Amino acid sequence: MNLLKVMDIKEVLETIRSNFSEGTVSEKVELSRALGRIVCEDLISEENIPGFRRSSVDGYGINSKASAGASEAMPSLFNLKGEVKMGETPKASIKVPGDCIYVPTGGMVPEGADSIVMIEYTESFDDDTILINKPACPGENLIDEDDDIEIGETIISKGTVLRAYEIAVLSSLGKKEIPVYKKLKCGIISTGDEVVMPDIKPKPGQVRDINSSLLSSLVEQNGGVPCVYGIYNDDIKELTDVIDKAAKECDVVLISGGSSVGKKDETLETINNMKGSKLLVRGIAIKPGKPTLIAKIKEKVIFGLPGHPLACAVIFNTFVKEYFNIKYTSHSMEYPLNCTFSVNYHKAKGREEFLPVKVENSLGELIAVPIISKSAIMSAFSRAFGYIRIEKNIEGINKGERVLVYKL
């Protein structure tokens, strides 16, 4: 029996980054289908937005110099020369300083006007005369043609995950097709003589296959396409065949179970015997998830994940997700909540621990409450808001100590 030669989290992340290059195959998708996709190149604007000078209020377009000294006691008189229709080019223009033209919110600012006076500061004297009782400044209440987006501006950077807001910006620029990374295809293999399909009632000693569903959801959530290969016994020939098939058909292979040092765990031996394989990681100083494998078969990555669902989820979120970020050149930021820890919690030194917590609001103070469970208990994550990371050389957390909670 071989003992694990563990690496710390920082070493594992650096190993992944040094062994796999950025980027993957790209494709173009219609804007209507681009939500959640990852942009594979900087998107540059070819036009100005809004593209014309427009009013930000309902009011009157004027030459601001003509309003100097205007007040409620002594308003300035302006000659009304017409109004701007929405969606149309103004038919009238400001030819002399005492002219004004009505402009609705979003309407095009007429030629000769350098500001818009809000309608609240005006009064109609007669059909042809407007009284203005507040002086205007040049540029007041109007938006220039390139105030929102300028020609040549990078509007969306490479590696950005497209949200509804980015879709709206691209729509304003008339983009029909968007260059994105092709989704990573992820082969998912469950192993273990004791594992049965979720729709089968387990016999004593058997467990349902949770990890295929868990990993499929995590893959989709992170921009990949899951391809489930099913459950395989702890048999080297069977595992060799299915891993080889998955490595040929997919970009990533995720194997749950069979990564520890037990007698029946055959994943390590299978990978070591495969042509072109290279073992990169054999054990990580992390709790839960210590018996984790990471290997390379040619240019494909193989993750040997723990069979315990909670540990499997931790390893996916910490390492598989990092691989996704590399291939998608994505650099998503995490914004943890600053909370007060609710109890005294002890941990063993030597391994970084990911502790699931729920967050409670107590009189405006956010409280992190640990969810204590064994690593096989998946419900810990379903009940958790997020998790805290406890560094490997720290023995625990004291009640009342401030902690950072990362959302799941």
Q: Is residue 320 part of a domain?
A: yes
Same domain, 261 and 204: yes
Per-residue pLDDT tens over the stretch 36-86: 999 999 999 999 999 999 999 999 999 999 999 999 999 999 999 999 999
Q: Which of 335, 327, 283 is nearest to 301 (CA)?
A: 327
Cα separations in angstroms, 163 against 224, 307, 406:
16, 34, 21
Rounded CA separation 69/136 (Å): 10
Position 263 scores a pLDDT of 43
In this prediction, residues 11-37 reach a mean pLDDT of 95
Looking at the domain assignment, is residue 4 inside a domain?
Answer: no
- Residue 335: CB atoms within 10 A of its CB come to 7
Q: Is 21 found in the same domain as 31? A: no
| Extended beta strands in 16-84, E state | 26-30, 43-44, 54-55, 59-62, 76-83
Please, what is the Cα angle at 398 between 395 and 401, to 5 degrees? 120
Q: For residue 383, what are the domain limits?
A: 337-407
241: pLDDT strictly greater than 60? yes
- State pTM to two decimals: 0.84
> Does residue 2 lie within any of the structural domains?
no
CATH code of 99's domain = 2.170.190.11
Residues 286 and 171 in one domain: no
Residues 158 and 296 in one domain: no
145 and 48 Cβ atoms separated by less than 8 Å: yes
Residues 282-340: tens digit of each pLDDT: 999 999 899 999 999 988 999 999 988 888 999 999 999 999 999 999 877 788 999 99
Residue 139 shares a structural domain with residue 127: yes
The CA-atom distances, in angstroms, between 407 and each of 19, 283, 338, 359, 384 are: 28, 25, 11, 10, 9
Is residue 108 a part of any domain in this protein?
Answer: yes
Instruction: List Cα–Cα distances, 38 to 144, 232, 295, 325, 342, in angstroms.
Output: 31, 33, 26, 10, 39
Residues 310, 248, single domain; the answer is yes
Cα atoms in the 13 Å half-sphere on the side-chain side of 337: 19
Res 13 pLDDT > 60? yes
Q: Is the pLDDT at 357 greater than 80, yes or no?
A: yes
CATH of the domain at 258: 3.40.980.10
CB 406 within 8 A of CB 336: yes
Is 120 in the same domain as 177? no
Residue 153 has pLDDT above 60, yes or no: yes
Mean pLDDT over the full length of the chain: 92
Q: Which of 89, 117, 143 delimits the end of a domain?
A: 143
Q: What is the CATH number of the domain that holds 33?
A: 3.90.105.10
Residue 272: inside a domain: yes
Structure confidence at residue 189 (pLDDT) = 97
Work out the pLDDT band at 259, boundaries 50, 70, 90: low
CB 185 within 8 A of CB 225: yes
Q: Is the pLDDT of residue 205 over 50?
A: yes
Q: Is residue 1 part of a domain?
A: no
- Regarding whether 40 and 159 lie in a shared domain, the answer is yes
Tally Cβ neighbours within 10 Å of residue 272: 12
d(CA 246, CA 250): 6
Average pLDDT over residues 206-225: 94
Pair (115, 231) in one structural domain: no
Q: What is the pLDDT of residue 309?
A: 87
* Distance from C-alpha of 241 to C-alpha of 239, rounded to nearest angstrom: 5
CA-CA distance, 169 to 31, in Å (whole number)?
11
Select the more confidently predicted residue: 236 or 67.
67
**Are 313 and 201 contained in the same domain?**
yes
Q: How far is Cα 260 from Cα 92, in angstroms, rounded to an integer? A: 80
pLDDT band at 4 (very low <50, low <70, confident <90, very high): low
The predicted pLDDT at position 175 comes to 94
Tell me how many domains the chain contains: 4
Is the model's pLDDT at 400 over the cut of 60? yes
Q: What DSSP designation does 331 have?
A: -
The pLDDT of residue 269 is above 50: yes
User: Is 65 inside any structural domain?
Assistant: yes
Residues 196, 318, single domain; the answer is yes
Determine the average pLDDT of the residues in 18-34: 94
Is the pLDDT confidence value at 389 over 70?
yes
pLDDT confidence of 408, banded at 50, 70, 90?
Answer: confident
**Domain CATH code at residue 358:** 2.40.340.10
Grouping H, G, I as helix, E, B as strand and the rest as coil, residue 36 is coil
In this structure, the answer to whether residues 213 and 356 fall within a common structural domain is no
**pLDDT band per the 50, 70, 90 thresholds, residue 258:** low
Mean pLDDT is highest, among 22-26, 140-144, 381-385, 390-394, for 140-144
Side chain identity at residue 130, one-letter code: I
- pLDDT band at residue 23, thresholds of 50, 70 and 90? confident
Model confidence at 270: pLDDT above 70: yes
Is there a domain that residue 3 lies in?
A: no
Token look-up 């302006």 returns 78
First to last CA, the chain: 35
Separation between Cα atoms, residue 386 and residue 383, nearest integer Å: 9
